[in-house]
Chains A and B, each alone.
Chain A
Amino acid sequence: MSDPAPPIGEEELHAHIDGQLEPERQPAVVRYLQDHPDIARQVAAWRAQREALRATFASVAAEPIPPRLGLERLVQQRLDRRWLPWRTAAAVMLAFGLGGAGGWFLRGGQQQTAALTLLAQQAVANHMVYTADLRRPTELGAQQRDDLARWVSNRLNHQVAPPDLSADGFSYMGGRLAATPDGPAGLFMYDGPQGVRLTVFVLPLHSAPTLPIQHIDYAHINGCAWIDKNIGYTVVGKLPLPELRRLAEVVKRQYDGAT
């Protein structure tokens, strides 16, 4: 019987060794090796070489992973950096995704940093997106203040109204519901001296620790943040830090008084 199949190439011999040969070529390769003992010896040597290499390095993969290569630790190191570039947003979401899935690595003080990081990142992101929107920076304007308060409170499952900053020279423009990986948030916008835009951002967090007002510094935008009764608050705007802090204290007093 003549052989209509193409001749066996060296590459097929290796594919045979590596278990990557197309199944329909298998019988032809086996037959070829039976007919060519010298080639079969060579293939056996390659196969032995493959097995020896696997055996040599197998022990490395069986070792416990050294602490400095623990992913948990590497992610923590990223979250611990005070200055977070935008791209670590992914790591933050991951922190929360896993935290919810059974506390894979959120433990102790780390939870604090992660919650604050999420809060800061989302507050600044929404600040940048909506203050830059000249045509429709808010969903509901100043005259629908009560409607917005009701809407946001319903969605956040938490009573929250836009704070009044008129005594500090910031007039309320309106607000909206904002989206975050951790659920809906309320965003309230204010128009200050020289057209500076200030936003107050309110985000319910899951089992977050209480934190006093602190400075957040994210993507070159300053803000103040605090966490109270599992609700995260921020005040964000292009203002000097002491001024921001003072406004944050005003907002916090109003919210403290309301609850």
Chain B
Amino acid sequence: MIVSGTLTRIEACIPALRRYAAALLRNREDADDLVHDCLVRALDKLHTRRDDADVRAWLFAIMHNLFISQLRRAKARPAGEPLDETHEAAMSMRPDQENSLQWRDLIRGLNALPVEQRTVILLVSVEDLSYAEAANVLGIPVGTVMSRLARGRERLRQLTEEGEETRPVLRRVK
């Protein structure tokens, strides 16, 4: 039966959905709320699926749409979110001392990127989506995916290196 197969595939995607949500949202509780809503929505829409093709991209698309509408709602509220070093998912992974400052710059840089670039970078770099799949998930042309990826990666590289330049002494002293 198609539906039961789909369920098994959905289940297999949950770790990746949690990872993506955690990378997007910083707060783990919020991230899992997003995954929860995504799964509920997916079960709602299960009957509209004709085949089992590309369950992963389908789920990421559902989550992306929820994330975007969440952002829109959040914009209506005064933003109180600190910009750096509150990324819980990232904080749970503490690299060795030598790399930790560089790594902190990376996370800070990631959070500073426009959402359009952040989503593309994460979907392609971390979630291993093809450019075509990412285009599908985000509802944009493949060319746009590639240009956002290029701009985002370069911007993130600059942000990371700026961070390094502002603390050369610290880096040397270790």
Question: Which of A64-72, A122-130, A251-259 has 4 or more CB atoms under 8 Å from chain B?
Answer: A64-72
User: Which listed residue (A15, A65, A90) contacts B3, Cβ 8 A?
Assistant: A90
User: Which listed residue (B43, B131, B147) contacts A75, Cβ 8 A?
Assistant: B43
Residues B15 and A74 in contact, CB atoms below 8 Å apart: no
* A45 sits at the interface (CB 8 A): yes
Question: In this complex, what residue of B is CB-closest to A85?
Answer: B44
Question: Which of B63-71, B76-84, B118-126, B165-173 has 4 or more CB atoms under 8 Å from chain A?
Answer: B118-126
Complex Cα gap A50–B36 (Å): 27
* A52 sits at the interface (CB 8 A): yes
Per-position binary interface string of chain A over residues 36-79, scored 1 when its CB falls under 8 Å from any chain B CB and 0 otherwise: 00000010011001101111111111110110110100110010
Complex Cα gap A233–B172 (Å): 79
Beyond A45-B157, A53-B126, whether A61 also contacts B15 by CB under 8 A is yes
Q: Which residues of B contact A135 (CB under 8 A)?
A: none
Q: Which residues of A contact B121 (CB under 8 A)?
A: 53
Complex Cα gap A45–B39 (Å): 36
Per-position binary interface string of chain A over residues 178-197, scored 1 when its CB falls under 8 Å from any chain B CB and 0 otherwise: 00010000000000000000
Number of residue pairs A-B, CB distance < 8 angstroms: 128
Question: Which of A92-100, A162-170, A200-208, A221-229 has 4 or more CB atoms under 8 Å from chain B?
Answer: A92-100
Residues B122 and A53 in contact, CB atoms below 8 Å apart: yes
Residues A74 and B43 in contact, CB atoms below 8 Å apart: yes
Complex Cα gap A3–B32 (Å): 52
Q: Which residues of B contact A52 (CB under 8 A)?
A: 102-103, 106
Residues B39 and A69 in contact, CB atoms below 8 Å apart: yes
Residues A94 and B106 in contact, CB atoms below 8 Å apart: no
The listed residue with most B CB atoms (<10 A of its CB), out of A49, A57, A104, is A57
Q: Which residues of B contact A58 (CB under 8 A)?
A: 19, 93
* B101 sits at the interface (CB 8 A): no
Q: Which residues of B contact A69 (CB under 8 A)?
A: 14, 18, 32, 35-36, 39
Question: In this complex, what residue of A is CB-closest to B99?
Answer: A52
* B146 sits at the interface (CB 8 A): yes
User: Which listed residue (B3, B102, B156) contacts A94, Cβ 8 A?
Assistant: B3
Count of chain A residues with a beta carbon within 8 Å of a chain B beta carbon: 42
Complex Cα gap A17–B77 (Å): 39
User: Which listed residue (A10, A18, A57) contacts B90, Cβ 8 A?
Assistant: A57
- State the Cβ distance, B57 to closest chain A Cβ, in Å: 15
* A31 sits at the interface (CB 8 A): no
The listed residue with most B CB atoms (<10 A of its CB), out of A45, A50, A59, A90, is A90
Complex Cα gap A50–B149 (Å): 11
Q: Which residues of A contact B1 (CB under 8 A)?
A: 93-94, 97, 181
Q: Which residues of A contact B7 (CB under 8 A)?
A: 71, 75, 94, 98
Q: Which residues of A contact B90 (CB under 8 A)?
A: 56-57
Complex Cα gap A93–B16 (Å): 26
- State the Cβ distance, A13 to closest chain B Cβ, in Å: 8
Complex Cα gap A59–B23 (Å): 11
15 contacts between A and B (CB under 8 A): A14-B153, A15-B131, A46-B153, A53-B122, A54-B126, A58-B19, A58-B93, A61-B15, A62-B15, A63-B15, A65-B18, A71-B7, A71-B10, A93-B1, A97-B1
B contacts, CB < 8 Å to A: 1, 3-4, 6-7, 10-11, 14-16, 18-19, 22-23, 32, 35-36, 39-40, 43-44, 46-47, 89-90, 92-93, 95, 102-103, 106-107, 110, 121-122, 124-126, 130-131, 146-147, 149-150, 153-154, 156-157, 160-161
A contacts, CB < 8 Å to B: 10-11, 14-15, 18, 20, 42, 45-46, 49-50, 52-63, 65-66, 68-69, 71, 74-75, 78, 87, 89-91, 93-94, 97-98, 101, 104, 181
Given contacts A57-B90, A93-B4, 19 further A-B contacts (CB under 8 A): A10-B150, A11-B150, A14-B150, A14-B153, A18-B131, A45-B157, A53-B122, A55-B93, A57-B93, A60-B89, A61-B16, A61-B18, A69-B39, A71-B10, A71-B14, A91-B3, A93-B1, A98-B7, A181-B1
